[in-house]
Structure 1
Amino acid sequence: MNDSPLDGLDARTMALAYLGFGTAGILGGELLLSAALGAPPAPEAELIKGFSFVAVSTAFVWALASRKDRRIERQQTSIRSSLDQLRTVVAASPVPIIAVTPEGRVTRWNDAATEAFGWKRDEVLGEPLPYSAGENSENSEEIIRRTIDEDGLSDVSVERRRADGDLREFRLSTAVVRDADDEPAEIVGAFVDVTEQQRRERRLREFELAVEQAGHAIYLTTPEGEITYVNPAFEEITGYDAAEAVGESAALLSSGEMPEAYYERLWRAVQSGETWQERIIDRRKGGELYTAIQTIAPIASDGDIHGYVAIQSDITESELTRQRLGVLNRMFRHNLRNRMNVIEGYAEMIRQDATGAAGVADEDLTDAAETIVEAASELVALSEKAQTVSDALESEATPRRVSALVESAVSRAESTYPEATIRTDIETGVFARVDSRVGAALDELIANALKHGGETVHVDVYRTEDDDSKLVVRVADDGPGIPDEEWRVIKRGEETPLEHGTGMGLWLVHWVVKKAGGSMELEPSPLGGTAVTLKLPVGAERPRTWFPSGE
């Protein structure tokens, strides 16, 4: 809107108009004076002066108007240039920028908005905003109203659904563009997609909560080993609170019990980017020693190590328990074997004495002596079975071909039970390796089947149909089967005074298979007895020709 009618005229038009009005004024004045008042005509010199004044005034007016035109042209050129630059910036901005009328119809939509929301510019210009708001977010109409009322908004959190239905999170800032009458003409909004940032922040908060609530001591250090963070479990386990530990060297926990070579190996490992995991003896603030399994891993990016994270699991009590059980086990087995030898010796003496001088045996006394000898032998066998269980569970796991384990177990069983029939059926092409400790479980299953079952045992090895990472080993017999109550005890994982197993054999199998990462099931045997099925995780496959020795 122009301020006056003259604002629309250029300098030449204004000068000509001024000259015309001036000339007409002089001539018209002379005619009016002569005709109306009868005044004599003005001297020629006066007329020339008047026309000269009008001409000079016209030139002055033209100069002023021309200067004004040039200034206006420069301003308009500058404005056009600024508008062109603004359009270029808006179009090239990596930030989605959208403008709408107060009624919500789209007037501007840059390429970044197309990338962020999925609609093309031609699809939305002149149309209502195409996206919808999330359930917990303000809608577009409310944002427009607030923008006008508050003359712009800053950093408002909104959720908007893309053309493909994906709900994204944005930080939105808006501004009002007003016309010459100070009325809202456009509402411009700039969107910053913070979806991934918000997800990272949520994951970070979850990680922080997990670390804070973890039952293991966790602490962070600089590359030089200075502690920068400890979690509550660290404070509880070590006795040092965060204020005492942060800023100190990790050597704060050193007990003096570990050799220097331990720490040298530790630093070589973590500084080369490896993860270190070893048993360590550290010292609490109060001076007490504690044993922990410690894992230390480098915190690295782009090949540079920025620090280390250490996790300690306090195993002091479990170590003491293991030591106590080990000592008790050795003492029990040693003393049991010695005392059973004494019992067997005296029982044999009683049986010999039961014959008497007349050569007539006292059958009751003989039977009692034999019962004592049998019971003693069973107790010694139980002690030896306990040793077998201990050895199997405490030994290191090594991968061995399942066929070799089966063949070795069958060979040992055939030498112990030469009259038995043991058939093996190993699926063609199965060269998988399993935990070597499974061999002890196979020994127990086959021996148990022959001792308490019938005279026939089948051992089958095959792949599962639904999971190539698992292997099935089934030991089936034709005997009376395992009692239900004994199997329930194994499945439950504990014995009770009213319900317990009759021996350690099934426990041995259960523990070994669990330690190997597998499972055990009991089912009817095709032979009429019981079938124990082991489902075991397998290792890497190897061609048969790589193992000429069978290992």
Structure 2
Amino acid sequence: MNDSPLDGLDARAIALAYLGFGTAGILGGELLLSTVLGSTPTPAAKVVGGLSFVAVSTAFVWALVARKDRRIERQQASVRSSLEHLRTVVAASPVPITAVTPEGRVTRWNDAATETFGWEREEVLGELIPYGASEGGENSESVEEIIRRTIAEDGLSNVAVERRRANGDHGEFRLSTAVIRDADGEVSEIVGVLVDVTAQQRRERRLREFEQAVEQAGHAIYLTTPDGEITYVNPAFEETTGYDAAEVIGEPASILSSGEMPETYYERLWRAVQSGETWQERIIDRRKGGELYTAIQTIAPIESNGDIDGYVAIQSDVTESELTRQRLGVLNRMFRHNLRNRMNVIEGYAELIRQNEAAVADEELADAAEAIVEAAGDLASLSEKAQTVSDALESEGSPRRVSTLVEDAVSRAESAYPEATMRTDIETGLRERVDSRVGAALDELIANALKHGGETVHIDVCRAEDDDSKLIVRVADDGPGIPDEEWRVIKRGEETPLEHGTGMGLWLVHWVVKKAGGSMELEPSSLGGTAVMLKLPVGSERPRAWFPNDD
């Protein structure tokens, strides 16, 4: 908008106009006075002087107007440059910048808006703004409402909105708006700057979920600096150690040291974690009250751009389970040792009774002696079975070809039961390996089938149809089958006074297969008896920590 009618003219035009009007005014005025009014003509010198003044004034006016034109031109050039820079900045902005009319039609749309939302500039210019609010979203304020609020509040700042992209996905943004008005103060455009915070919001939600998981974890968790200074502990840490968070934050992790671990333990630990490895070992630490506790401790470095920013330590308190295992181990060894010794005594005396002349003559006494010998033998066998269970569960398994395990088990069974009929059917080309401890389970299943079943045992081995990582080993017999109540006890994982197994054989199979990472099922046998199906993982896959009383 021009300030005056003269603003549209340049300095030369204004100066010439001024000169023309001035000259015409002097000469015309002189002519009018002399001819109309009859006045004495003005001396020529004065007329020349007046014309000279007009000429000088014209030059002065020309200089002033020319100076103003130059200033205006510089200002206009500056404005044009600023506008060009602004357009460049808007175009090159890494965040979406858009502008719309008060009716919501797009007037500006930069490349970042295209990259973020998926619509090209040519598609949207002059059209209603394409990205709508996400239906049902927490921040689903409509475009119309945003425009209304922007005009009412003369701009918005950092408003959370959810918007739909061209591909149908929804994003989360922080929106700031500004109002552009024309010379009459009317709203001509509304400019919006949108910062895409979708990934940031997703990370923040994951961090909140992680924090909640750590806070509610049943294991003691604490964080440290690279030097081992504790920076965070979770509630389970406080419960396990007896220390409140305020008591240990800022303290070295060695506050838990019990003095029971050798210095070499900590030297190996630090070498491992400082080199970026994860450390997992058993440790004995001390609670605030002075009591020792045993934990399985895992320590992992927290890395950022290749640098270690600190460490996270997780402790699983196994004090009670270790004591339980120790007690069971001692009781088991004492039971087996004493039982074996006392059974030898009973067998010896029973044999003396059976060989005594009076016992030979007394049939009832001879039968009693025979029953004692048989019962002693059963108890001795039970002791040996307990030893087998202990050896199988306490040993470390290793991958072994399943066909070899089956063949070895069959060979041992044929030696023990020479009159039995054994048949194996191993899938052609099957060379996969399973946990070597499965051999003890196969021995027990075959022996149980021949001892309590019939005279025929079939063993089939094949890949699982529904899972390539599993193998099926099926042991079938032609006997009377496993009683339902005994199978229920095994599946439940515990015995009761009213429901319990008759022996340890099935428990051995159940525990070994479980520790090998597999499962056991019962099904009818094509031979007319029972088939026990073992589903085993290929290789040495198995739980890292498992105890026989686990579900």
Question: Which band: TM-score by shorter chain?
Answer: over 0.9
| Deviation at residue 165 of structure 1 after TM alignment | 0.6
Structure 2 match to 1:526: 526
Give the equivalent residue in structure 1 for 2:218. Answer: 215
**1:69 aligns to 2:72 (yes or no):** no
Q: Partners in 1 of 2:506 and 2:280 — Cα distance?
A: 33
1:499 maps to 2:502: no
Q: Partners of 2:399 and 2:175 in 1: how far apart?
A: 59
Query: 8 Å contact 2:516–2:540 — kept in the other structure?
Result: no
Query: Contact conserved, 2:392 with 2:512, CA < 8 A, in 1?
Result: yes
Determine the C-alpha separation between the residues in 2 that align with 1:423 and 1:464.
Answer: 20
Q: Residue 40 in 1 paired to residue 43 in 2? A: no
Query: What are the superposed Cα offsets for residues 379-402 of structure 1, whole Å, 9 maximum, x if unpaired?
Result: 222222122112111111211111
Cα distance per residue 1:297-326 (max 9 Å; x no partner): 122234332222111111111111111111
For 1:356, give the aligned amino acid.
A
What residue is the counterpart of 2:169 in the other structure?
Answer: 166
Alignment-mate amino acid for residue 120 of structure 2: K
Partners of 1:301 and 1:449 lie apart in 2 by: 59
Deviations 1:256-278 (A, max 9, x none): 11112212222222222221111
**Aligned partner of 2:300: which letter?**
A
User: Counterpart in 2 of 1:515?
Assistant: 515
Contact 2:114–2:121, Cα closer than 8 Å, also in 1: yes
Aligned-partner Cα distance in 1 for 2:305–2:192: 37
C-alpha contact 1:176 1:187 (8 A) present in aligned 2: yes
Aligned to 1:150: 153
- Amino acid of the residue matched to residue 242 of structure 2? G
**Residue type of the partner of 2:218?**
G
Q: Map 1:331-410 to 2 at 5 A.
A: 331-353=334-356, 356=358, 361-410=361-410
Shift of 1:255: 0.9
* Aligned-partner SS, 1:262: helix
Question: Following the alignment from structure 1 to structure 2, what is the Cα–Cα distance between the partners of residues 102 and 28?
Answer: 59
Give the 4+ runs in structure 1 shifted more than 4 A: none
Question: Shift of residue 24 of structure 1?
Answer: 2.5
Q: Is the 8 A contact 1:175 1:189 kept in 2?
A: yes
For residues 110-259 of structure 1, the aligned pairs below 5 Å read 110-134=110-134, 135=136, 136=138, 137-259=140-262
State yes or no: 1:458 paired with 2:458.
yes
Counterpart contact for 1:432–1:540, Cα < 8 Å? no
Q: Which residue of 1 aligns with 2:288?
A: 285
Residues 425, 461 of structure 2: 8 Å contact kept: yes
Q: Relative to structure 2, which stretch is displaced further, 262-271 or 115-124? A: 262-271
* Structure 2 match to 1:446: 446
2:242 is the counterpart of 1:260: no
Distance change >3 Å, CA 483–CA 540, structure 1 → 2: closer
Shift of 1:280: 0.9
Which residue is equivalent to 1:272? 275
- Taking only the aligned residue pairs, the percentage that are identical comes to 84
1:57 match: secondary structure: helix
1:537 to partner: Cα distance:
0.6
Q: CA deviation at 1:540?
A: 8.6
Moved more, 73-82 or 449-458: 449-458
Secondary structure at the aligned position of 1:517 is classed as: coil
What is the rounded CA distance, in whole Å, between the counterparts of 2:516 and 2:91 in structure 1? 62
Q: Secondary structure at the match of 2:457?
A: strand
Shift of 1:469: 0.6
The corresponding residue for 2:546 is: none
Residue 415 of structure 1: how far off its partner (Å): 0.8
For the 8 Å contact 1:226–1:250, the answer to whether it is kept is yes
TM-score by length of 1: 0.94
Q: CA deviation at 1:349?
A: 3.7
Deviations 1:490-520 (A, max 9, x none): 1222222222221111111111111111111
Q: Corresponding residue for 1:107?
A: 107
1:27 corresponds in structure 2 to 27
Q: In the alignment, is the contact (CA less than 8 A) between 2:518 and 2:534 conserved in 1?
A: yes
Q: Deviations along 1:172-199, whole A, 9 cap, x unmatched?
A: 1111222222222211111111111111
Which deviates more, 66-75 or 361-370? 361-370
The aligned residue for residue 545 of structure 1 is none
User: Residue 466 of structure 1: CA displacement?
Assistant: 2.4
1:79 is matched with 79
Residues 435 and 540, structure 2, Cα contact 8 Å, conserved in 1 = no
Aligned to 2:319: 316
Please name the residue that 1:549 is paired with.
none
For 1:131, give the aligned amino acid.
Y
Does the 8 Å CA contact 1:446/1:457 hold for their aligned counterparts? yes
The CA deviation at 1:362 is 2.7
The question of whether the paired residues in 1 share the 8 Å contact of 2:477 and 2:531 is answered with yes
Q: CA deviation at 1:407?
A: 1.3
Amino acid across the alignment from 2:311: Y
- Match of 2:443, SS? helix
- Contact in 2 for aligned 1:255/1:282 (Cα 8 Å): yes
For 2:549, the equivalent position in structure 1 comes to: none
What residue identity is the alignment partner of 1:203?
R
The equivalent of 1:546 in structure 2 is none
Number of residue-to-residue matches in the alignment = 538
Q: Secondary structure at the match of 1:98?
A: strand
1:284 CA displacement:
1.0
Distance 2:488 2:372 in 1: 31
Partners of 2:398 and 2:540 within 8 A in 1:
no
Per the TM alignment, residue 84 of structure 1 is displaced from its structure 2 partner at its CA by: 0.7
Q: Which residue of 2 aligns with 1:548?
A: none
CA shift for structure 1 position 364: 2.7
8 Å contact 2:397–2:540 — kept in the other structure? no
Determine if contact 1:169/1:195 at 8 Å carries over to the other structure: yes
CA contact (8 A) 1:223 1:305 kept: yes
CA offsets, 1:99-142, max 9 Å, x none?
Answer: 11121111111111100000000000111110111233211111
Which position in structure 2 is the counterpart of 1:483?
Answer: 483
Give the distance between the partners of 1:33 and 1:237, measured in 2 at CA.
119
Per the TM alignment, residue 35 of structure 1 is displaced from its structure 2 partner at its CA by 4.4
The whole-number CA distance in structure 1 between the counterparts of 2:151 and 2:196 is 23
- The CA distance in 2 between the partners of 1:78 and 1:127, in whole Å, is 32
Match of 2:308 in 1: 305
Partner of residue 2, structure 2 = 2
